[in-house]
């Protein structure tokens, strides 16, 4: 088993599904990010736009207003920026971000690929069916793992064609982005289909409602315990990067799983 890396989530948003409003003050967000690194995060993922089901997009000015003051206070901290906007990515990379986490997989903003390539930055390509506003309306697949893998393979080729080093790209099945709970479970169960593309796989299962709904059909979030169980299951199937809200607990759970493996 590859040594897992934990990516701590810092949502600088009023409306994120599980931590909306918690990190709106830049000083609070930056302190939380530093704590995550002390707790064992390899990188912190700073985002200024919620992509929860049903969310509306935010303007460029608003996203910059949320994210830039936090990044200014995170000099020397390994940072990823969760954005689909090239201008936000450009400012974040200037401020020292190392990775761009684009949930649209370079389909949203045609200038983003060039900005990542020119900066020599790392990139996460994530699968999403549809867009956040509508993506949970009856998603259907013939073969969810095969279709997600085919999409990511095509997006990886697009990124490499745009000049992004293949070794700098990780792939993400996009848990909860246009998938039912059972489709999310199947993607993790069959992670080998994604690993066959030859790139590290990142998963975001933290607090996602698919795991909460195992216990309460109306749950909007998953518990910490359910998140840890899902992360360990993904780790055992070869995922190597874990995007999480609760860093210390995931570092410990994944270390325990790794010691046994
Ligand atoms: N999930 C969310 C946001 N960004 N990026 C990647 N690569 N993978 C994910 O699974 C992923 C992601 C949604 O979670 P969160 O950031 O907690 O919520 P919100 O989008 O409401 O801010």
Q: What is the C-alpha to C-alpha distance for residues 100 and 83, in angstroms, rounded to an integer?
A: 7
Q: What is the C-alpha to C-alpha distance for residues 134 and 194, in angstroms, rounded to an integer?
A: 25
User: Side by side, which strands form the sheet with 79-82?
Assistant: 169-172, 122-126, 99-102, 79-82, 43-47, 5-11, 241-244, 202-203
Among 222, 156, 226, 231, which residue's Cα sits nearest to residue 191?
231
Q: What is the C-alpha to C-alpha distance for residues 66 and 214, in angstroms, rounded to an integer?
A: 34
Q: Tell me, what's the pLDDT at 132?
A: 85
Query: Among 67, 103, 133, which residue has the most ligand 1 atoms within 8 Å of its CB, making it the best to mutate?
Result: 103
Secondary structure (3-state) at 168: helix
User: Burial code of 124-154, b = ≥16 C-beta within 10 A, e = fewer?
Assistant: bbbbbbeebeebbeeeebeebbeebbebbbe
What residue owns the CA closest to ligand 1's atom 5? 103
User: Model confidence at 2, in pLDDT bands (50, 70, 90)?
Assistant: low
Task: Tell me: pLDDT of 1 over 60.
Answer: no
**For 76-120, how does the pLDDT look when each residue is reduced to its tens digit (9 = 90+)?**
999 999 999 999 999 999 999 999 999 999 999 999 999 999 999
* Pairing of β 202-203 and β 241-244: parallel
Annotation marks residue 85 as catalytic: no
**For 116-170, how does the pLDDT look when each residue is reduced to its tens digit (9 = 90+)?**
999 999 999 999 998 888 888 888 999 999 999 999 999 999 999 999 999 999 9
| Contact predicate 67/83, CB 8 Å | yes
Q: Tell me, what's the pLDDT at 252?
A: 98
**For 6-57, how does the pLDDT look when each residue is reduced to its tens digit (9 = 90+)?**
999 999 999 998 889 999 999 999 999 999 999 999 999 999 999 988 888 9
Return the ligand 1 atom nearest residue 101 CA. Answer: 7
Return the ligand 1 atom nearest residue 176 CA. Answer: 10
Q: What are phi and psi of 129, to 5 degrees?
A: -100, 115
**For 215-247, how does the pLDDT look when each residue is reduced to its tens digit (9 = 90+)?**
999 999 999 999 999 999 999 999 999 999 999
Task: Give alpha helix (H) positions in the chain.
Answer: 26-38, 60-72, 86-94, 112-119, 144-161, 181-189, 191-195, 209-212, 224-236, 247-260
Å from CA of 7 to ligand 1 middle: 11
Å from CA of 51 to ligand 1 middle: 6
Q: Tell me, what's the pLDDT at 138?
A: 81
Q: Tell me, what's the pLDDT at 160?
A: 98
Return the ligand 1 atom nearest residue 208 CA. Answer: 14
Q: Which residues line ligand 1 (CB under 6 A)?
A: 9, 11, 13, 16-18, 47, 50-52, 82, 101, 103, 124, 126, 172, 174-175, 202, 204, 243
Query: Among 23, 47, 51, 63, which residue has the most ligand 1 atoms within 8 Å of its CB, making it the best to mutate?
Result: 51
Annotation marks residue 243 as catalytic: yes
Å from CA of 57 to ligand 1 middle: 14
Task: Give alpha helix (H) positions in 39-111.
Answer: 60-72, 86-94
Q: What are phi and psi of 175, to 5 degrees?
A: -60, 125
Among 180, 158, 225, 236, which residue's Cα sits nearest to residue 203?
236
| Contact predicate 116/89, CB 8 Å | yes
Element housing 109 (H / E)? none
- What's the predicted TM-score (pTM) here? 0.97
């Amino acid at each position: 088993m590859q040594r897992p890396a934990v990516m701590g989530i810092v949502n600088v948003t009023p409306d994120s599904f599980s931590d909306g409003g918690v990190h709106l003050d830049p000083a609070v967000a930056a302190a939380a990010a530093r704590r995550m690194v002390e707790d064992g995060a390899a990188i912190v993922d700073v985002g200024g736009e919620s992509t929860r089901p049903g969310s509306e997009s935010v303007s460029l000015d608003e996203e910059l207003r949320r994210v830039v003051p936090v990044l200014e206070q995170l000099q020397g901290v390994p940072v990823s920026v969760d954005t689909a906007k090239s201008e936000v990515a450009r400012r974040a990379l200037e401020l020292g971000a190392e990775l761009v986490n684009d949930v649209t997989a370079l389909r949203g903003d045609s200038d983003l690929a060039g900005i990542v390539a020119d900066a020599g930055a790392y990139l996460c390509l994530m699968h999403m069916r549809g867009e956040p506003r509508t993506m949970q309306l009856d998603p259907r697949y013939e073969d969810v793992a095969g279709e997600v893998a085919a999409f990511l393979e095509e997006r990886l080729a697009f990124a490499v064609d745009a000049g992004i080093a293949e070794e700098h790209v990780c792939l993400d099945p996009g848990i909860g982005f246009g998938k039912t709970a059972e489709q999310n479970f199947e993607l993790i169960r069959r992670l080998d289909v994604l690993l066959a593309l030859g790139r590290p796989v990142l998963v975001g299962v933290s607090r996602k409602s698919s795991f909460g709904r195992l216990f309460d059909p109306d749950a909007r979030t998953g518990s910490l315990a359910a998140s840890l169980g899902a992360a360990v299951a993904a780790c055992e199937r070869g995922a190597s990067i874990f995007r999480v809200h609760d860093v210390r607990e995931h570092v410990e759970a994944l270390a325990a799983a790794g010691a046994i493996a």
